[in-house]
Structure 1
Amino acid sequence: MKRAAKTDNHASTRPEAPLTHDVFNQVPPLTGHDVSADPALVGGVKREDADWALGELRTLGTLAGSARAQEWGRLANECPPVLRTHDRYGNRIDEVEFHPVWHELMAVAVGHGLHATPWASPRPGAHVARAAKFYVWSQVEAGHGCPISMTYASVAALRHTRALASEWEPLLVSRNYDFGLRPAAAKRGALAGMAMTEKQGGSDVRANATKAEPLGDGTYAITGHKWFNSAPMCDVFLVLAQAPGGLSCFLLPRVLPDGSRNAMRIMRLKEKLGNRSNASAEVEYEGAVAFLVGEEGRGVRTIIEMVNMTRLDCVIGSAAGMRYGVTQAVHHTSHRKAFGREIAEQPLMRNVLADLVLESEAATAVMVRLAGATDKAIRGDTGEGALRRTALAAAKYWVCKRAPAHAAEALECLGGNGYVEESQMPRLFRESPLNGIWEGSGNVAALDVLRSTAKEPETLDAFFTEVGLAAGGDHRLDAAIREAKDSLTDTATIEYRARRVVEGLALVLQASLLVRHSHPAVADAFCASRLDPGRGLAFGTLPSGLDLDSIIDRATMKIA
């Protein structure tokens, strides 16, 4: 006999839960677009000999704009790396464990050649194409760009020692992402990191105390510590240490050719403001085996090749963050209503949005120009190399300095929604100060400009030749160039005034590029707002009479 089914005698009398409200006036997610559909980026790529890469850039941009890739970025930051110092049996392993999405992000970056691939390409514009891809993919997630950037930069330093370059460069330029600690001979691809900073020194690397003792077979034993070791899960590192001949640069692999782990101990991972997806560590070396790169006593000169390349990526990363922030701000305010109409149609918000676009476009324009100068300098153009020497340090100072203020203003455009983690704007804000600190904080970058112009006057000549190409294009720019030149004449106070001097140089460089190459509305508004001594200091203080429609439209993403 079947049992009767149980019934709820009260079901028919229970009232339905009332609907308290309808959900409306909420902004749809910004997905299904091509992140590379950026007029400032595309125009620059074409000018700098990399138009052949536009198809690859669109493919990557479409992936970057997908909901899948954006979810990778979210998870990589919500599930940060974990240090495993020992295995279950008590053996020291010093391994860093990542969420699977980290490896997805890395595989895309390596597979698309965002790391060291341009070094293997004879094609003009290869470094520009790589910079454009790095800019696009960084808008998905910034943290994994650290090992990608250092791998790119490491080749420049390694080429000081041909034998090391011939061994490691094929692995570093490979498009195979091959995670895991194994000897170089067992790897299909490798990643590089760096370790310069120590507890007592910070930017003053000459205060480093780590020792390098020659072992008599061409190798050295490294003993000491590093306060910041970027991306300690990499296969090989460039390390500064004191050799008998002075501060020197060394290549230190994680795994030795016989398969044993090198004596590099990861003490802990840093708890950082942002960049949470990426591991940054304190390490100790207990007689770790390393190989000399360059000559003893010339470590700073050797590793500065790497630093200059990563400084370029600091500019690219900050420009990418600005672009991400302003596209989110324009998208949100274009879909959200207040006081009877879209927020983006409110006059004051239009002022803010247009101002954010100007800052973003100027950063993108100078980023692509510096990538072009880098590409040409690597191919032997001394004039472009001289321009890069001053312009890169000036842009590193200014673009990276502007990023936090830009991120804060873009976040504010979303109101309270922007302060909530789900919007991803807090992640952008936390990330925004990093590039201003990495590879020399603001003061270091500003003083580097002064040193380069004093010791190498040809770099200043190259700089003013470049900005002079826009002469006569805007009277405000002409006046600002004269003022920038005058600011360099009082050498007695120039170090005290370094930030203001370098700000002026960076602004005339950005303005000259916009006057020559950007939409006339962008160039006009930038010169009116950035080169006017009486300008407002906050975003959203543009003067009247500007073509804001044309400016804002350049940050409006088209959803597929």
Structure 2
Amino acid sequence: MFPETTHAVQNQAEPRVNINEFRTNTPLVEAVAAYVPDAATTTLDEIGAHVGAETFQGAAETVNIHTPVLHTHDRWGRRIDDVEFHPAYHDIMRESLSYGTHSFGWTHAGGSAERAARFSLFAQIEPGHACPVSMTHAAVPALMGTELEDFWVPKLTSTVYDPRLIDPAEKQAATFGMAMTEKQGGSDVRANTTVATPDGDHYLLTGHKWFCSAPQSDAFLVLAHLPEGLSCFLVPRVLPGGDRNPFFIQRLKNKLGNKSNASSEIELHGTHGWLVGEPGGGVRAIIEMVARTRLDCVIGSTAGMRQAVAEASWHASGRAAFGNTLIDQPLMRSVLADLQLEAEAATWTMMHLAAAHDDDSADGQAFRRIATAIAKYWICKRGPAHAYEALECLGGNGYTEDFPLARRYREQPVLAIWEGSGNVIVLDVLRAMGREPHSVTALTTFLEGALGVHANYDARYEALKPRVQDTMKTLASHDASAVAALQRAGRVLVEDLAVMLQAAILIHHAPTEIAESFARARLGGDRGMQYGALPDGVAIDALIERA
């Protein structure tokens, strides 16, 4: 008889569940204390325990397996355009909104940084639902100061969740989506062909939108042309009185990731919309909304980095190979420390930017204008590679859909694409440098405040400063060939600005050993290309402990 040893499960890490995801995220705890000293940490603890619970993690897995289903017609052939979700999705949305992940920054003065922490904790475990949460949050500034504010903003900031498609006047709460891009234009929204014609106190829209996120929402911000130019409209799914607005969902997108969230193509045909802002002022109307959703892309990517390194270090703590626990193997320690260093920098940057969105001084607005774009480019682009390296730490387990890092690896790219892919963001940074020089002054002033602490930082700043000055001069010259050359090299400049921004934030606010480790690992010339190829002097033990 052979002993049935193959049926015993050995040398596998226990499931990483029932862990407080806030309290165990040391850099987030520290950043909350630094930027929001009066934060409701008991609530953040409550959220951390809730999203770390086995039941919530199970729900997150469920909604990514049982994905949204579109029903265009009922059994009698009537058009219904209904998106069906698993009940667990509605539970997650209800729980997330109840903690103000969409509204805390609007309902509490100076609440943007605490809202970022709350939002990141939910997005860490289930990122798909974060899309309608983010859009609901970002729609508020577009409506402020308009005739639509009094009716819609209280519903957008309510912590109630009501998924029923009924007359908005009968609802306490509402969620918003957006429909900006079209198949022939993408990010070039001025190429849109959707048009609007007056109809009494509002307009009728006709056109086709290539990406409409969260089509189950109560209303949408939509771009369409008027004779005065591209304009922004609020388009409800249900009209006052209860009739359905002509809003035809053509299909749901079959996406690489973001599976729990419904994204769609829609057709508008005589669809009722209410003007937001001035005729021809569509871009101006959505500019603050774009800034907020770009910030949420940073938060979402950062949340993904935290999930990735937490899962990787947990696995390495519970798995042995070649005579030792993985987390005690020198090479693995270098990889995990580097992954944690990336997550640290992203976390502190996320919180710094969120706090900056509550600074309405001229300098504060100028700083966040350029810094948000720079961070969006860099952190969101770092996300997929970071997720992959963490996935590899789990070996074959990581490559299966039974573990969350395969899902995270598929999720991270959307955050780099959404609200401006890499090239669009680089062009936007250059546009800010050319048209809003005050933004560059605010950024360089902040960078200069971190000088004198680390030699690597000082050397990189001295090399970067004349390049920034030359860029400003070239942009001011309007020399077409010189500007084209700048664009070709634009990614290099934005990458350098991004790592310097992160380093400065860490030097200003993070523990000394973390800031020094980042300066050595990201600003020196003696590191390799992959995670784990670290120079001497990095605080590996401290980073492992924080992971």
1:503-522 matched pairs, under 5 angstroms = 503-522=495-514
1:201 counterpart = 2:217: no
Q: Answer whether contact 2:520 2:538 (CA < 8 A) is retained.
A: no
Per the TM alignment, residue 291 of structure 1 is displaced from its structure 2 partner at its CA by 0.4
1:462 counterpart = 2:442: yes
SS at match of 2:13: coil
Give the counterpart letter for 2:364 in structure 1. Answer: E
Per the TM alignment, residue 537 of structure 1 is displaced from its structure 2 partner at its CA by 1.1
1:162-201 matched pairs, under 5 angstroms = 163-201=147-185
Q: Distance in 2 between matches of 1:17 and 1:45?
A: 54
**CA offsets 1:234-293 (integer angstroms, 9 cap, x no match):** 001000000121100000000000100001100000000000000000000010000000
Q: Which residue, out of 478, 486, 494, partners 2:466? A: 486
Q: Answer whether contact 1:156 1:305 (CA < 8 A) is retained.
A: yes
Give the counterpart letter for 2:133 in structure 1. Answer: I
Structure 2 match to 1:12 = none
Q: Distance in 2 between matches of 1:48 and 1:86?
A: 50
Structure 1 match to 2:18 = 32
SS at match of 1:257: coil
Distance 1:416 1:248, change over 3 A: same
SS at match of 2:186: coil
1:93 counterpart = 2:76: no
Q: Distance in 1 between matches of 2:309 and 2:537?
A: 22
SS at match of 2:359: helix
1:85-124 matched pairs, under 5 angstroms = 85-121=72-108, 123-124=109-110
Per the TM alignment, residue 517 of structure 1 is displaced from its structure 2 partner at its CA by 2.0
SS at match of 1:251: strand
1:296-307 matched pairs, under 5 angstroms = 296-307=279-290
SS at match of 2:250: strand
| Structure 1 unaligned residues grouped into runs of 5+ | 1-14, 556-560
Structure 1 match to 2:477 = none
1:56 counterpart = 2:43: yes
**TM-score, reference length from structure 2:** 0.96
Structure 2 match to 1:397 = 377
Quick one: percent identity of the two aligned structures?
A: 50
Aligned alpha-carbon RMSD (Å):
1.4
Q: Distance in 1 between matches of 2:38 and 2:57?
A: 27
1:359-370 matched pairs, under 5 angstroms = 359-370=342-353
SS at match of 2:20: coil
Per the TM alignment, residue 482 of structure 1 is displaced from its structure 2 partner at its CA by 2.0
SS at match of 2:487: coil
SS at match of 1:52: coil
Q: Which stretch shifts more, 230-239 or 517-526?
A: 517-526
Q: Distance in 2 between matches of 1:341 and 1:298?
A: 63
Q: Answer whether contact 2:526 2:535 (CA < 8 A) is retained.
A: no
Q: Answer whether contact 1:94 1:266 (CA < 8 A) is retained.
A: yes
Per the TM alignment, residue 534 of structure 1 is displaced from its structure 2 partner at its CA by 4.2
Give the counterpart letter for 1:77 in structure 2. Answer: N
Per the TM alignment, residue 21 of structure 1 is displaced from its structure 2 partner at its CA by 4.3
Q: Which residue, out of 406, 417, 438, partners 2:418? A: 438
Question: Runs of at least 4 residues of structure 1 off by over 4 A?
Answer: 15-19
Q: Distance in 1 between matches of 2:292 and 2:305?
A: 20
Structure 2 match to 1:6 = none
Give the counterpart letter for 1:394 in structure 2. Answer: I
Structure 2 match to 1:385 = 365
Q: Which residue, out of 189, 213, 229, partners 2:197? A: 213
SS at match of 2:516: helix
Give the counterpart letter for 1:86 in structure 2. Answer: H
Give the counterpart letter for 1:525 in structure 2. Answer: S
Query: Which protein has the larger Cα radius of gyration, Structure 1 or Structure 2?
Result: 1
1:221-300 matched pairs, under 5 angstroms = 221-300=204-283
Q: Which stretch shifts more, 387-396 or 546-555?
A: 546-555
Per the TM alignment, residue 546 of structure 1 is displaced from its structure 2 partner at its CA by 2.7
Structure 2 match to 1:10 = none
| Structure 2 unaligned residues grouped into runs of 5+ | 475-481
Q: Answer whether contact 1:50 1:129 (CA < 8 A) is retained.
A: no
Per the TM alignment, residue 198 of structure 1 is displaced from its structure 2 partner at its CA by 0.1
1:499 counterpart = 2:511: no
Give the counterpart letter for 1:358 in structure 2. Answer: L
1:546-557 matched pairs, under 5 angstroms = 546-555=538-547
Structure 2 match to 1:337 = 320
Equivalenced residue count is 534
1:413 counterpart = 2:398: no
